Amino acid sequence: MFRSPCRAWGAALLWGVALGSATLPPACRAQDAEDLQNLLENVGQEYAHAYLAPLIQSFGANQNSGLYSTAAIPASRLTVSIGVRAMAARLAEEDAFFSREVDVTLDEDWGVAPTDPYYGDEGTVVMTGPTVFGDEHVRGVVQAYHDGVLVAEMEGIEGVWQTRTAPLAVPEVSVGGVLGLRATARWLPAIDAGDIGAVRLWGYGLQYGLNQLLPMLPLDAMVGFFRQSLDIGDDLNADADSWFLAASKSFTMVTVYGGYARESSDLDVTYEWIRSPDDVVPIDFNVEGLQTSRFTLGATLNLGVRLNADVNVGNELTTWSAGLTFGI
């Protein structure tokens, strides 16, 4: 199932052996310093789905962070601001490792040769190993079973980015003050993120000040939405949407703000699985993010420039964000 031209050497030793196992020669291991896109070419869809799951959970939560630092939107005074937002999602300890079991038809994809007596029978495959955020020096393992008996074992891939904190930073510009509306755009050109690959982001959002409709409110309130798209290399695209209700209260130099959001995210994965130099399989699938809601609490300090920081407690992940804003 999992072969580059080098890894296929070791896999071939066990694909025709019912209870065999094999490891790669040292010469092959020395060539394994690969980035995320190259690693994915060595695994099929089932493995990649589990391997990438924490990435969409963390990047989707990050994209939906730092969307506001005040709920005050003038009704008729033009405001323009530029700034930068930094976000960080805290991953759970178990996000560094995955274990997945699937029922399959035993064939070449799972290390079973056509000459084996159980070729074409139903079996079970157990996949375990580091996720994309797991150990960079440990390979995953794929084991195929027939009636509870191990019939094939293959290597998976290692982690890429061993961390429990997934960061993201992006510049943004906002224009407001027309009919109580404020529009915001985010754009990040291609930035080299090391083994993760080049990262690009764009997004837009719109907010409406509720004080235009409810002038008796004792604080500022607004509703808004944001939509973003994040490209990771050439193979991964993460989309995120957020709909939120927020309120703030301003004092002399400090604004306290908070809100509630409903959100969604998903990751489109498209790459070519190189089962062998002569056998390339297109892979295309989608992973949905698990986080659907969050509460936000933060504060903004006005020193001529505005500094803000907040914590976002979601139903899956906690994220922190901070921002620096120039303008009004």
Residue pLDDT, tens place only, 255-275: 999 999 999 999 999 999 988
> Does pLDDT of 159 surpass 50?
yes
Residues ≥6 apart with Cβ < 8 Å to 3: 11, 42, 274, 275, 276
Local confidence band at 29 (pLDDT 50, 70, 90 cut-offs): very low
Domain that holds residue 287: 66-91+164-327
> Does pLDDT of 321 surpass 90?
yes
| Per-residue confidence (pLDDT) for residue 177, from 0 to 100 | 85
Residue 51 lies inside a defined structural domain of this protein:
no
Phi-psi region of 129 (alpha: psi -120 to 50; beta: other; left: phi over 0): left
Mean pLDDT of 159-182: 91
Q: 228 near 201, Cβ under 8 Å?
A: yes
168 phi and psi angles, rounded to 5 deg: -160, 140
How far is residue 152's CA from residue 165's CA, in Å, rounded to a whole number? 35
Residue 1 lies inside a defined structural domain of this protein:
no
- Residues 244 and 282 placed together within one structural domain of the fold: yes
Of the candidates 158, 178, 194, which is a domain's last residue? 158
- Residues 214 and 108 placed together within one structural domain of the fold: no
Residue pLDDT, tens place only, 210-258: 998 898 999 999 999 999 999 988 889 999 999 999 999 999 899 999 9
How far is residue 301's CA from residue 290's CA, in Å, rounded to a whole number? 33
